[in-house]
Amino acid sequence: MEKFHLFVNKHESLLRYSVVVVGVSGGPDSLALLHQFLKIRKKLQLTIIAAHLDHMFRGKQSESEMIFVQQFCERHDISCETKQIHVAAYADKFNLSTQAAARTCRYDFFKEIMVKHNAGVLALGHHGDDQVETILMRLVRGSIGSALAGIPAKRKFDTGTIIRPFLSLSKDQLLDYCHVHNLNPRFDPSNEKLDYTRNRFRKRVLPFLKEENPLVHARFQYFSETTLEDEMYLQELTKEKMNTVLKRKEKQEVEIDTELFCDLPLPLQRRGIQLILNYLYENIPSSLSSIHIEGLQTLLSREHPSGSLDYPGGLKVIKSYQLCLFTFEHKQFEPYCYTLEIPSMLNLPNGYIIKSDIEKNIHEKNGNHTFIINRSFLTGPLLIRTRKPGDKIKVKGMNGTKKVKDIFIDEKVPLHSRSLWPIVEDGNGNILWIPSLKKSIFEGGEGEDDYVVLHYKKH
């Protein structure tokens, strides 16, 4: 148990004088853990609470495990908290796998006990073999980022901290410990079932690895800790760089500059995408994997200016020229057509306004954010509407007409912005102006007449 003491020494400031809830299933790992905590209880002045949840999977048998834990605690003068939850019914109700339901119920129960006893620490008996299985399973499944570092030895949990002091020890070492100390743990028969993925890794892969290197669990633990450190460092770097790439960040939507993004080194690109996904998803769907990240990197780096991807949980990723939009909001782009009074101000669905005024002695203005027209030449009413198929404009300074669609393409207007883009039309059906993009030949004039002046700006 030297490894356990090394762990305790490293985290002494967290542990000393604290209330520690130990999750005890009654199996060898958690029983050994509880036993070890008993040995340091006095020295570190700990208050130890054992917490056991009966998942009620195996009727009387699982109840007997709960009673076993209660009796063990009585014998060793430890406060014991237990609860019985019909996890199968819970899984049915919330449409979860029994494994996922058991996990949710267990961690909710731990939270409840920590609050009740004002405990800052939850200690769990995961060990080195669990770590090997977890890392291999995640690699095979295609997990990404810090998930590949496996089970963390210490992490935040609600208002407290979860610690796992046994990650550097193997299952065999814990079984030996229980044997030497006569702890007589219970064995859960479901650990033997080959229909659980973890059990297949344990039974089929681990024996081979241990044959190759009996200390394989220590190698994996080293890999886990260093991977986590590397990952934290790279994530910090990514956060910094992504600030320059981000164009817009809202609750359900993020927009990035694709050119700046593609200039980032590939490891930061990958993590940048993860950062966006972590931000947008409340819970990252388990079906999201490295395949999605690779797919997006390909979409962003290829020459074709547009394309989209559907991610799990209704997230859509839309690339359009220099912008890429991540959105859950599948906006129904309702066409609109408003009459513009003069003078007035009109709020548009794309977040912009058009303001109209009458002015005298005006000079033509450069730029596409203002449009002027001699009042006596204007046939009203002025309409502000969305685009229609076949729309054409007689572009100022050019002979002939141009399709509005081609202007959107030439100006690299993102696809999702085109449907809400305003078009200004006169009473004769001529397109006068596509705000901020193109003016028509109808603009202009100079003199002392009255002029209608239109301004287009952000709301």
Ligand X SMILES: Nc1ncnc2c1ncn2[C@@H]1O[C@H](COP(=O)(O)OP(=O)(O)OP(=O)(O)O)[C@@H](O)[C@H]1O
27 in a labelled binding site: yes
Tell me which residue has its CB nearest to ligand X.
Answer: 27
Minimum distance of ligand X from residue 234's CB (angstroms): 29
One of 15, 49, 52, 80 touching ligand X (CB under 6 A): 52
30 in a labelled binding site: yes
Asked whether 51 and 115 are in contact (CB, 8 A), the reply is no
Cα(119)–Cα(42) distance, integer angstroms: 17
One of 72, 125, 153, 163 touching ligand X (CB under 6 A): 125
Cα(258)–Cα(358) distance, integer angstroms: 41
Instruction: Please say which residue, 202 or 387, places its beta carbon nearer to ligand X.
Output: 202
Asked whether 325 and 414 are in contact (CB, 8 A), the reply is yes
| Residue 370 CB neighbour total at 10 angstroms | 19
Counting every residue written for the chain, the total comes to: 459
Instruction: Please say which residue, 30 or 161, places its beta carbon nearer to ligand X.
Output: 30
Question: 175 to 194, contacts with ligand X by CB under 6 A?
Answer: 188, 191
Q: Which residues make Cβ contacts (< 8 Å) with residue 165, sequence separation at least 6?
A: 3, 4, 7, 8, 33, 36, 123, 153
Asked whether 326 and 299 are in contact (CB, 8 A), the reply is no
DSSP designation for 270: H
Q: Per CB under 6 A, does 30 bind ligand X?
A: yes
Minimum distance of ligand X from residue 161's CB (angstroms): 15
Can you name the residues that pair with 385 across neighbouring β-strands?
Answer: 337, 423
Cα(183)–Cα(394) distance, integer angstroms: 90
Tokens of 422: 């305003």
Number of residues binding to ligand X, judged by CB under 6 A: 17
Position 413, amino acid: V
Tokens of 165: 């002091």
Instruction: Please say which residue, 126 or 217, places its beta carbon nearer to ligand X.
Output: 126
Instruction: Please say which residue, 28 or 422, places its beta carbon nearer to ligand X.
Output: 28
Instruction: Please say which residue, 164 or 241, places its beta carbon nearer to ligand X.
Output: 164
Find the part of the chain contacting ligand X (CB under 6 A) among 125-133, 250-258, 320-328, 395-403.
Answer: 125-133
Find the part of the chain contacting ligand X (CB under 6 A) among 122-130, 281-289, 366-374, 398-406.
Answer: 122-130
One of 85, 87, 126, 425 touching ligand X (CB under 6 A): 126
Question: Which residues are annotated as part of the binding site for ATP?
Answer: 25-30
Query: Which residues of this chain interact with ligand X, rule CB under 6 A?
Result: 23-25, 27-30, 51-53, 106, 124-126, 130, 188, 191
